[in-house]
Structure 1
């Protein structure tokens, strides 16, 4: 049975840069939404829109039949699902659990297995599209889990994303997100080097972008993040620290499979350096700083 606004109460854990917009779309669609965040102030806008604040994850879990999590790190996912006040222990039998955090594939499988044993239905469903995709409800949503559970939740996914695909069994969504992050990692290096080259060649980078973003070099990063680089706008659409987390997961998974990923290794080393310089809370476009500092 499909989950609709008439037969569901959605609990949303994590109302940061991405989660706030996603939960907001569900409220606007007419769903009843309960919210929890470690810092209540970051949920105030949603509360003003009609979301109902919950003091603990356990409280939220007992009152919802669809629980969506969008937190920071695998350790946060572990705590939210398996901690003393965690979702697995407190969710009602028959509830749907959807972790949309970018996390480890093995952790997604653990959540799935533990949920099934408790009569709960879990999906891993990480997203891509950044703050812009979240605000405009056009995220790509990569899902792992059972097809029947996916089908039941598609109406909810469709309010926050435009490209919603079931990739396979539990963990497949997270593996797909790793593919996404691997592709982005090397692309960001290319975007930064292209801008640095344009500057060194005496070109106007803004004009260069107009020519190359619509050709074979086109990408989300080139169209959406390069313009931010040019005006020194390093506000986070996606945090450097979270990208480093994602690349760490991808590298570990690749190593487990015996896969060579030199581009990913290079990108992570550069972002590690950027974080060491104090930019861990900047947006990923701040990578350009390394290139401009070296070439000025």
Structure 2
């Protein structure tokens, strides 16, 4: 059975009491993910602050703006993913205006990716959630039809002006851009050879299995890996932490401008290694990550 709001609050506060010694603004900072939200973060912050004896806004990120959260945080993962898609499209000489898109998942990431890409002139032709999907070759009215229907019924299924499609069928549509933004393990060795998208931008964590990744690379499909594509959320979490610790409040356009600069630079840093080492973008991202950690470890040295 589904927990009531009161039950969720009590569980969250008790959990915070248990982990209070392991978290903090200079230690470990929780942020929302699946099955948690801004309200969950507010409860954690409030409980931790009561235990500390003063308000500690920076103990969590992804909070409501009213209690120290950051503008732009809700859509940050999707916004960062769109910036990465934009750079990938430019690299492949693909014009986003008129490009076709399929989005698997209509949670926080999938909804905002679909909305932003639609506003940029893309034709979002398919969207799905856990219950199934909807499809229209001419493009979906993402906000007017799909989001409104989802808000009213709890699912995108049967949104007006659409045809039914399964999650599996959505992944194999002949589109320019595929955004798996649901759960892990959706593109596997069983369906990787049927993926037709030019760009796969991983909005979810681990949507492509290693065996599928090799197949996509062999077929020349440009994959923007999760470690890069969905980094916008944690980046704006960092922005929120900075604002909390420095007592600042940035406008949303400032947030998105800073995020754009970071995502664009990260994309081209990874692309440069991909070209240099003749590896796919995922391997290049891992190489860059290890190089940075190794450099920091060498600079700090060994003690004692």
Please indicate, yes or no, whether the TM-score normalized by the shorter chain is above 0.5.
no
How high is the TM-score relative to the length of structure 2?
Answer: 0.38
How high is the TM-score relative to the length of structure 1?
Answer: 0.39
**Which protein has greater RCO, CA pairs closer than 8 Å, 6+ apart?**
2
